[in-house]
Copies of this chain bind each other. A is one copy, B any other.
Amino acid sequence: MNITQMSCPMPQLDFEVITLGHGSGGILTNKLLESGVFDLLKNPLLDQKHDGAIFRLDGQLAFSTDSYVISPIFFPNSNIGELAINGTVNDLSMCGAIPKYLSLSFIIEEGLTMKEFWEILVAIKFTAEKAGVQIVTGDTKVVERGKGDKIFINTSGIGVIHPKANINIKNVKTGDKIIISGHIATHGIAIMSVREGLEFETSIESDTQHLNFVIKELLDEFGNNIHLLRDPTRGGVATVLNEIARDAKLGCDIIQSQIPVLEEVEGACELLGLDPLYVANEGVFMAIVAAEVADNILKKLKSIPNFEHSACIGEVVAEHPKQVVLKSKIGGKRVVNMLVGEQLPRIC
C-alpha cells in the first residue's frame, strides 16, 4: 500500500516528544491516550476499557504473535506500523485462518517524536482497515534513551480457520508443486538500499501487503488441495524450503529460471553480494499444492492484482530427503542450505 498517500491531521498536542512519563500508567499516559492520538484506532471493542477485549468467535481459532524491530522504522513507501499489521495478518493467513482481531503493543524509546508516532499510527489504522481486521486491545511502554531503538511493535492476532482449510506439513507429498506468489527479495533489498544509502534507477519499495484476501479466495476454491502455506520472511525462500524439506522428510527441487525477481532487485543483490533466495519478503507467500490443481491455482493467482507474477518454481520429490536442490540458469545443480548466521539483521 502506498502509505505515504494516507494522511490524517494530527491533533493539537502540548508535547512534541514521548517521554518516560507517558509510560507511567499515570496522568501522562492518560493524557496520551486521551489526546486524540489513539482515537485513530477507535472501535467498539477497543473502547470497552477493560484490561482486555471481550468478544465471541466460533470455530477453530488461530493465534499468532510477532514483534517488529525493523530498522529504519520508515522505509520507501511504508513504515513499521504497516509491517506490524500485515505481518501478523499474514501469519494467521498462513495457518489457513481468516484474521479477525489484533492486539497492539508499543515499546517506545523516549525521544520518539509525536510526529513519527502519529505517522506510524496512521499506517496502522489504514492497514488494519484495508485488511479488514480490528485492533481490540493494546499496551504502551516507554524505555530510556539508549535502551531501545525508536519503537518496537508487537502485534498478536486471532483468526478463524477457513472451513475448507487443512494446512499441515503432514499433507505435503511427493509430486506437490511449489508456488510462489510474486517477485522475491524485494522487501529486504528495499530496506538495505535505505540503510546503505544506495540509489537505483527506480526506487525499490517494500512488498509489504496483507495476504488474507487472496488466501481466502484460494481456500474457497481449492480447499484441502492446498497442503501448506508459508510466508518467506526472515531467512527468505531458501530457509522456508529447507524447513519444509526437513519437516516433511522429503526433498524440494526448484528451478532458478522460474523464480520471479525484479531486475533491479537482482542487480542490487549482485552489488551487495546477496542471494535473493535468502532475502526477506513481506508480501509474498509460498503454497505447496496438489499437482493436479497447480495450473488452476496459478491461473487464478495471475488474475488477481498484485499476484500477476506468481510462478510455479518447483516440486516436492522423494529424492534427497531433507534437502533443497536448485537447478541453476546455466543448467547446473546445487544444494541450497538454510541461511547461516545473519545476512540482514532487523529486516522485520
Contact = CB atoms under 8 A, between A and B. Distances in A.
Contact of A62 (B53, B148, B157): B53
Contact of A69 (B30, B101, B141, B156): B141
A52 B341 contact: no
A303 to B, nearest CB: 26
A345 to B, nearest CB: 5
B20 A345 contact: yes
A61 B65 contact: no
A54 B340 contact: no
Nearest to A239: B26
A144 interface: yes
Contacts of A338: 26-27, 30
Given A55-B61, A63-B53, A25 B235 contact: yes
A103 B146 CA distance: 27
Interface in A34-89: 49-67, 69, 71
Given A95-B52, A97-B52, A67 B139 contact: yes
B64 A52 contact: yes
Contact of A340 (B26, B52, B95): B26
Contacts of A154: 65, 67, 105, 154, 156
A92 interface: yes
A231 B50 CA distance: 11
A34 to B, nearest CB: 10
Interface in A12-36: 19-21, 23-30
A64 B62 CA distance: 15
Interface residues of A, number: 84
Contact of A60 (B19, B56, B159, B243): B56
A24 to B, nearest CB: 4
B343 A103 contact: no
Contact of A26 (B92, B157, B234): B234
Contact of A138 (B27, B51, B65): B65
B58 A58 contact: yes
Nearest to A58: B58
A26 B342 contact: yes
A149 interface: yes
15 contacts: A25-B233, A25-B234, A26-B340, A28-B341, A29-B235, A51-B92, A52-B91, A52-B157, A52-B159, A55-B60, A55-B61, A65-B105, A69-B107, A143-B346, A147-B148
Given A50-B167, A51-B91, A52-B63, 20 more contacts: A24-B339, A24-B341, A25-B234, A25-B235, A27-B337, A27-B339, A28-B342, A51-B90, A51-B230, A52-B64, A54-B62, A55-B63, A56-B60, A56-B61, A57-B57, A63-B137, A66-B105, A67-B139, A105-B154, A148-B149
Interface of A: 19-21, 23-30, 49-67, 69, 71, 90-92, 94-95, 97, 101, 103-107, 136-139, 141-144, 146-149, 152, 154, 156-159, 161, 167, 169, 230-231, 233-235, 239, 243, 247, 278, 280, 337-343, 345-346
